[in-house]
Amino acid sequence: MKDYERSTAVTIASTQTDPWSITHREIPGERPLGQRSGTTGQQIVVAEDLGLRAEVRALAKRFTTHPVNINTLANDNWELMHPLNVTVEQRAEDEFIACLYDADLYGYGDSIPGALEDLRVIIVDQFEFLLEHERTVELGSLPKGQLEILRRMLVKVDA
């Protein structure tokens, strides 16, 4: 049996105001996955595996992030009002994701320049799509938010 760093009791209780109330408390020395019933609800004891925690740390070290500023969209119709702060996540030796977190947009590539180029295309395509459809359909909260953010970032190039 594995050694565990600590166990936590999770109590699932039902009240009139909150039918799915969940509370946590540490139980030193308690074995994992034990169950108890009580007047407050079902209590399940879970544990954190030290080996799993070490694996998560090792995985986190393999993924790196690179802050990058984009100064241009490399597009004839649109330009940026100001440089965009982008984070490029490196997931593997040849797997990169360029993230514009503010607008929830992502570009993918096998290199940093490839991921950034894909993100530039995604930004322009999404902006043009939202502009085209904003009057014909009711946009949900995510697309509305994206459109608001992209309107503050992009400006039409005078032809």
Integer Cα distance of 139 and 137 in angstroms:
6
Provide the pLDDT for residue 52. 72
Two structure tokens written together for 51:
């080996």
> What tens digit of pLDDT does each residue of 3-25 get?
445 545 444 444 444 444 444 44
Integer Cα distance of 36 and 92 in angstroms:
44
Q: What angle do CA 145, 68, 56 make, to 5 degrees?
A: 85
The model carries a pTM of 0.62
In the chain, % of residues over pLDDT 90:
50
Q: What is the average pLDDT value for the chain, to the nearest integer? A: 77
Q: Which of 14, 35, 32 is nearest to 23 (CA)?
A: 14
φ, ψ for residue 107 (rounded to 5)?
Answer: -120, 145
Q: Which of 99, 96, 95 is nearest to 87 (CA)?
A: 99
Q: What are the boundaries of each domain within the chain?
A: 4-57, 63-156
> What tens digit of pLDDT does each residue of 49-58 get?
667 777 777 7
DSSP state of 101: G
Locate tokens 């009580």: which residue? 38
Indicate the pLDDT class of residue 60, thresholds 50, 70 and 90: low
Residue 155 has pLDDT above 90, yes or no: yes
Q: Are 27 and 38 in contact (CB under 8 A)?
A: no
> What tens digit of pLDDT does each residue of 107-146 get?
999 999 999 999 999 999 999 999 999 988 888 899 999 9
